[in-house]
Chain A
Amino acid sequence: MILQIGRWGDDIEVESPEVWQDTSPTGTNQVVRVTGKIAQTSLAFMQAVRTELLEQVGMLVAVTWSEDSTRDGFYILRGVTMNLLHLTESGYVSFSVELERIGSESRTELQSLIAGTVLTNDHGVDEADSEPFHAPPIGVVSYASGAGAPTAMTRTSEDGDVYVFRDVDFDGDPSWSVPPSSYYGGAAEIWVSSRLRTGLDAPNDVDDFMLNNGLIRVTPRLTSQVSDGRLKVETYDGTQWDTAIEYGVYFDATTVIPEWHAISLIRNTPEVCVIRLVRDADEAPPTSNRHILDLRLRRGSRNLECHYSWTGGTQDIQIRREATEAATAVTPTGATSAVGIRATANDASGNRYVMATPHTHTQDLVNGRILRATETTMSFMLGAEVGGSGAVAGDAAADMMLQYLGHINETVRAVVK
């Protein structure tokens, strides 16, 4: 029997709840209280189970219960109590949760509150040239863009087909409906220590993390089981994950950041996830400065959005394709200079890597590198054209760059239909 509360429970077998209590106070939403017990085979697994439920308190969650789908719906998780009763080899937890019911699929509409505009850029790309996009969950119905006339396309992720609406209006707030069981389809996810994280609390495991939305995913490259600072970016081509492309961030254009010391979860929602990697300036002698790399991934996006900053003085910042691969500059429609580069030829998987930045930069087309000179920060994007030279409209490098520049900040709210 599966009780799924938000992203918790998909891989957990829950004994039938001892109590499922529904109350309906006058003038307020229904309140549901569920109590029960969970037994897992390992203490570590149970500790993770405990953490990931606690982390969702305060969040809008989709709840499904395999035994009684009439209570499936959207809720706000108001409170959680977990009693880890046996700290031995295995764990046995009694739990209770309190949920405020928003409503079922038929009663609840989800609204994406959007704030955005074109990223400040040095390429002359303005708001009209950019291509902001929005992607609701897989299985969406009744989608309304709110304003403008966006173009719909489909990207096939490992979870299924994701509808991507290209060129949405920055002033529109799309609304849509989706079954609770599909709410997390195509969502952006953060995995740390091989476990899907539901909130912002996670172990400081820089050697085992993943940012994944079913279309693109990034993991650390490991050397002797330890992160060596490089990022492995994989693309889903519609049927499988293709061979990873590896990138490095180079300090002073010549020195790669050789490892990361810390990972923080900055934002963890189905519509967008952000993680932060930090490295102390481990020089001889050590300094008090640090390297910071923020990675941001939106639902439905083929772009991994990155922002590097260095707390010391200005320096040349270079993003390198670790295995050299010739590139071609890309100047999208409306741009006055190349926004980035893409691989000149299809790789063995049939794709072409893409790198872009909103800043003035120099390009190394022989090796596949972009460099921003004499700065302390650099925003950039990593991705790949699925299908390479045959990429469909919306997945071509120029389109991806304009989608990157059309920056969207999204927050999802549940409203009554």
Chain B
Amino acid sequence: MITELLMQQGSFTVPLTIDTPHSIWERIGGTESTGADVTEIGTPGHVVITPQEMEPIKVGGVSVLAEARYTGVIKQKKQTNRKMSLTGVGLEWWLGTDDGLGDIIRPEVVLSASTMSNALDNLLPAAITKGVVTETGLSTITSNHHFSNPLEAIRTVMAQAHCEFRINPDGVMDAGGHRFLFNVAVPTVVASRDASGSDPNFLGIPIAKSEARRDYSQMATGGLVYITEADGTRTEVAGYIRGTTQRDLHGNAIVHEFAEEQVKGDSAANEDYIAHRLSQYVTNSFFSLDTDFYEVEGGMPVGDAWHVFDPPAFVDLSNPIQYRGDVIYPLDLRVMEATWPVRDGMGVYFRPSIGTGGAGAVLDSDWIDLTQFVAWEERALTRIILEDLTDFEVAGG
């Protein structure tokens, strides 16, 4: 199963059949490493999944990556009762991890009223290359970054600029406002409990199981940003309080704020950051559905918006669409997470970290075709988790 999340690592597990040759295990390398002085460390390579089978040695590894549906970083190979499996995470791993590991930024990067493109030029690790950056609607960026990993730095600049990113299976990052980066303006997918099916303008997703809920757990009444002075004292540099009419048990207005230490930045940038972070704390509509669809127009487009119609909870009367002989009033929700099975018909490949070319370059012949060894997940359903589209900022596109 593959789990993709919007702007997060996600995960994957590719199970192999019991009759997979042992030589496959050996070729999916990685030398046992001990001590600090090792020359082979880290991931043995990547798993690449294509919608249909391709042959890297014939079409070239570059073409396979360009057509790939998913690329993941192998973090573990496992053998359980003689069955092998490969597990790992998405390419976002190359930006760094939440515990601070990554291609640490040094020397210091100082951004002053910077564009997103310039920011990425200075912050992206070599493992991820910059792709298309759409600056329309983005705020400029003013921030300093030193001795942090690119993940932390990129999250900061994305928040400041009201921007989102997507790392494609070929290791290229596109960035821009969510309306430019994803298909949110005109959804082409309809998920409906009843009467789902094809239509000239929409792909209908049949729902095997669904859950809808309103989540009130993400709540913040305000936030502030502080800096730590040289003498250790802390000074608030920007803050914002939302009005709320809700009360606690004793009738007091609810106070539920965040406080975050900020790297030196200007006041406007800090206020932008607070506003962006506060926008994450809203009453969310969550909708999860299970479907036996595993491929939507070439992929399960995490980040795109879907029309979701499931009365009475998920109805938007201001959003009529003609669908399969009826007019329905779906709520437009964004796909935030998709977990989908590896199905027969896909191509699955191992791309090693070190190849047989000069200086360890990976040649097309170094790829290993795992397709015939995959234990396909035919019975598994795809799970989609969606959020209310209106929860996302309009600013930035």
The answer to whether A266 touches B324 (Cβ under 8 A) is yes
Q: Is B99 an interface residue (CB 8 A)?
A: no
Contacts of B315 in A (CB 8 A): 115
Contacts of A115 in B (CB 8 A): 311-312, 315, 317, 328-329
The answer to whether B194 touches A411 (Cβ under 8 A) is yes
A266 with B312: in contact, given A274-B326, A407-B327 (CB under 8 Å)?
no
**Which residues in window 252-273 of A have CB below 8 A to B?**
264, 266-267, 272
Q: How far is the CB of B263 from chain A (nearest CB, A)?
A: 49
A272 and B326 CA atoms in complex are apart in Å by 10
A115 and B330 CA atoms in complex are apart in Å by 10
The answer to whether B197 touches A117 (Cβ under 8 A) is no
A117 with B320: in contact, given A274-B326, A275-B325, A307-B325 (CB under 8 Å)?
yes
**Which residues in window 289-332 of B have CB below 8 A to A?**
311-312, 315, 317-318, 320, 322, 324-329
Q: How far is the CB of B327 from chain A (nearest CB, A)?
A: 5
Contacts of A173 in B (CB 8 A): 312
Contacts of A272 in B (CB 8 A): 326
Among A170, A276, A377, point to the contact of B324 (Cβ < 8 A). Answer: A276
The answer to whether A120 touches B325 (Cβ under 8 A) is no
The answer to whether A119 touches B325 (Cβ under 8 A) is no
Contacts of B325 in A (CB 8 A): 266-267, 274-276, 294-296, 307
As a 0/1 sequence over residues 34 to 69 of chain B, the CB contacts with chain A under 8 angstroms (1 = contact) are 000000000000000000000000000000000000
Q: How far is the CB of B328 from chain A (nearest CB, A)?
A: 6
Among A170, A275, A307, point to the contact of B322 (Cβ < 8 A). Answer: A307
Among B197, B311, B318, B322, point to the contact of A266 (Cβ < 8 A). Answer: B197
**Which residues in window 359-417 of A have CB below 8 A to B?**
377, 379, 407, 409, 411
Q: Is A116 an interface residue (CB 8 A)?
A: yes
Q: Is B243 an interface residue (CB 8 A)?
A: no
A266 and B317 CA atoms in complex are apart in Å by 22
A411 with B311: in contact, given A120-B320, A266-B325, A267-B195 (CB under 8 Å)?
yes
**Which residue of A has the minimal Cβ distance to B193?**
A411
Q: Is A309 an interface residue (CB 8 A)?
A: yes
The answer to whether B200 touches A409 (Cβ under 8 A) is no
As a 0/1 sequence over residues 100 to 119 of chain A, the CB contacts with chain B under 8 angstroms (1 = contact) are 00000000000001011101
Q: How far is the CB of B58 from chain A (nearest CB, A)?
A: 30
Q: How far is the CB of B290 from chain A (nearest CB, A)?
A: 16
The answer to whether A113 touches B326 (Cβ under 8 A) is no
The answer to whether B327 touches A119 (Cβ under 8 A) is yes
A247 and B189 CA atoms in complex are apart in Å by 33
Main SS class of interface, B:
loop
Q: How far is the CB of A128 from chain B (nearest CB, A)?
A: 14
Contact count band on B: 10 to 19
Q: Is A97 an interface residue (CB 8 A)?
A: no
The answer to whether B329 touches A117 (Cβ under 8 A) is yes
The answer to whether B326 touches A119 (Cβ under 8 A) is no
The answer to whether B317 touches A292 (Cβ under 8 A) is no
The answer to whether B311 touches A294 (Cβ under 8 A) is no
Q: How far is the CB of B41 from chain A (nearest CB, A)?
A: 54
Contacts of A267 in B (CB 8 A): 194-195, 324-326
Q: How far is the CB of B272 from chain A (nearest CB, A)?
A: 37
Contact count band on A: 20 to 34
The answer to whether B327 touches A311 (Cβ under 8 A) is no
Q: How far is the CB of B207 from chain A (nearest CB, A)?
A: 13
**Which residue of B has the minimal Cβ distance to A119?**
B327
Contacts of B200 in A (CB 8 A): 292, 309, 311
A119 and B329 CA atoms in complex are apart in Å by 11
A311 and B202 CA atoms in complex are apart in Å by 12
Contacts of A266 in B (CB 8 A): 195, 197, 324-326
**Which residues in window 112-132 of A have CB below 8 A to B?**
113, 115-117, 119-120
A407 and B322 CA atoms in complex are apart in Å by 12
Among B197, B318, B327, point to the contact of A409 (Cβ < 8 A). Answer: B327
A33 and B36 CA atoms in complex are apart in Å by 69
Contacts of B194 in A (CB 8 A): 267, 411
**Which residues in window 148-186 of A have CB below 8 A to B?**
170, 173
The answer to whether A113 touches B195 (Cβ under 8 A) is no
**Which residues in window 187-237 of B have CB below 8 A to A?**
194-195, 197, 200
Contacts of A264 in B (CB 8 A): 197
As a 0/1 sequence over residues 204 to 237 of chain A, the CB contacts with chain B under 8 angstroms (1 = contact) are 0000000000000000000000000000000000
Q: How far is the CB of B196 from chain A (nearest CB, A)?
A: 10
A309 and B202 CA atoms in complex are apart in Å by 13
A307 and B322 CA atoms in complex are apart in Å by 9
Q: How far is the CB of A266 from chain B (nearest CB, A)?
A: 5
A276 and B317 CA atoms in complex are apart in Å by 25
A407 and B328 CA atoms in complex are apart in Å by 9
The answer to whether A409 touches B324 (Cβ under 8 A) is no
As a 0/1 sequence over residues 325 to 366 of chain B, the CB contacts with chain A under 8 angstroms (1 = contact) are 111110000000000000000000000000000000000000
The answer to whether B311 touches A113 (Cβ under 8 A) is yes
A296 and B195 CA atoms in complex are apart in Å by 13
A119 with B195: in contact, given A295-B325, A311-B200 (CB under 8 Å)?
no
Q: How far is the CB of A294 from chain B (nearest CB, A)?
A: 3
The answer to whether A119 touches B197 (Cβ under 8 A) is no
Q: How far is the CB of A290 from chain B (nearest CB, A)?
A: 8
A173 and B328 CA atoms in complex are apart in Å by 16
Q: How far is the CB of A314 from chain B (nearest CB, A)?
A: 14
The answer to whether A296 touches B326 (Cβ under 8 A) is yes
**Which residue of A has the minimal Cβ distance to B320?**
A120
Q: Can you name 8 A-B residue pairings with CB atoms under 8 Å?
A: A113-B311, A115-B329, A116-B329, A266-B324, A267-B195, A267-B324, A274-B325, A292-B200
- Give me the 5 closest cross-chain CB pairs, A-B, nearest first: A294-B325, A274-B325, A267-B195, A117-B317, A115-B315
Given contacts A266-B195, A407-B327, 14 further A-B contacts (CB under 8 A): A113-B312, A115-B317, A116-B317, A116-B329, A117-B329, A266-B197, A267-B324, A274-B325, A275-B325, A276-B325, A296-B325, A311-B200, A379-B322, A407-B320
